[in-house]
Amino acid sequence: VESWDVTPERIVFTVRPGVLWAAYGKEHVMDVREVTAEDIVFSITRFIDDSPAEGAPGWLWTENGGFIDSVYAEGDTVVVETSRFEVEWKKWFAAGWCCEFLPPEVFAPGLDQADWMNLVGTGAFMVKEHVLGSYMAYERNPTYWDTAIINGKEYEIPFIDELIYAIIPDESTRIAALRTGKVDFDYGFSAVYEETLAQTTPELVKFVTQRNPGIMALNQLNPILADFDVRRALIMAVDRETILNAVWGPGGD
């Protein structure tokens, strides 16, 4: 989607025009076509009905103790009617951790969703090959919707045509591959290697990420905290910078 609007009564997503389901080489599943609001409704509804997430399947519906009354398409928008404001709505629909967005054609009778050859997405890369326990190869999506602006000039992305994701379970082997340039990127290695990598391979760029982000939210089931003005006053009174530095240090965000 390209935008959203959130109130205690509903979440409205506006679908970005021109985004395509990249079904190249997967004519047995579907044709390349534009993503619609109905596709998003299908994925959200399927996630709510089928995924246990933090409870039994369907627990996000209001009738089962959740916060969602209904989900429907209205033109180029997706409307999620809600019984209350849910501070973690992005976690469920927009962060990529929970709800998988797939076209309905993927779930046609006879198609195995565990087979990557039957899956279709909209991302910058498409799976080209998967050798179990060895690597996954991705190729550039020729109709990816996003662009990059560099020095005022707009470019189509991604810039690379092929991406190889090597599967190397042993950490010391991964570090050796990173040190010798056999791989360009490693995510989540132990901090004990940081100093030696900086000494032997100073050209490496380091960045810090939070692998399991935590969310601290006000309990809006409390009648006092359900008042927007009360929540805003509390947030304004909290020294978030001090909390950030105390928990994460200078690398926090």
In order of 29, 69, 104, 105, the CA distances from 109 in angstroms are 11, 29, 11, 9
Is the pLDDT confidence value at 207 over 80?
no
What mean pLDDT comes out for the span 122-127? 96
Burial string for 185-206 (b: 16+ CB within 10 Å, else e) reads ebeeeeeebeeebeeeeeeeee
What single-letter amino acid sits at 7? T
Task: Name the average pLDDT for the chain.
Answer: 89
Q: How confident is the model at residue 209 (pLDDT cuts 50, 70, 90)?
A: low
Query: pLDDT by residue (tens digit) across 148-165?
Result: 999 999 999 999 999 999
- Of 93 and 83, the one with more pLDDT: 83
Q: Are 60 and 89 in contact (CB under 8 A)?
A: no
Q: Tokens for 18?
A: 């021109």
Q: In whole angstroms, give the CA distance from residue 45 to residue 150.
A: 39
Backbone angles phi, psi at 40, to 5 degrees: -65, -40
Tell me the mean pLDDT in the region 179-201. 86
Residues 6 or more apart whose CB falls under 8 angstroms from that of 103 comprise 21, 30, 35, 39, 42, 120
Residue 16, Cβ density class (10 Å: 0-12 exposed, 13-18 middle, ≥19 buried): middle
Domains of the chain with bracketed CATH: 3-107 (3.90.76.10), 116-200 (3.40.190.10), 214-253 (no CATH)
pLDDT for residue 98 is more than 90: no
Q: Higher-confidence residue: 189 or 67?
A: 67
Q: Take residue 4 and report the two structure tokens written for it.
A: 């959203």
pLDDT of amino acid 252:
60
Q: Output the pLDDT for position 253.
A: 60
Q: Kindly state the DSSP code that residue 182 receives in the 8-state scheme.
A: S
Cβ–Cβ under 8 Å, residues 41 and 73: yes
CA-based nearest residue to 1, from 43, 48, 45: 43
Cα(83)–Cα(86) distance, integer angstroms:
9
Q: What is the pLDDT of residues 5-34, one digit of tens each?
A: 999 899 999 999 999 999 999 999 999 999
Contact between 26 and 102 (Cβ < 8 Å) = no
Q: Which has more pLDDT, 77 or 54? A: 77
At 128, the pLDDT band (50, 70, 90 cuts) reads: very high
pLDDT at 140: 97
The number of C-alpha atoms within 13 Å of 199 and in the hemisphere containing its C-beta is 5
List Cα–Cα distances, 164 to 123, 127, 129, 141, 173, in angstroms: 16, 10, 9, 15, 17
Main-chain dihedrals φ then ψ at residue 24, nearest 5 degrees: -65, 125
Percent of the chain with pLDDT over 70: 91
Q: Are 57 and 50 in contact (CB under 8 A)?
A: yes
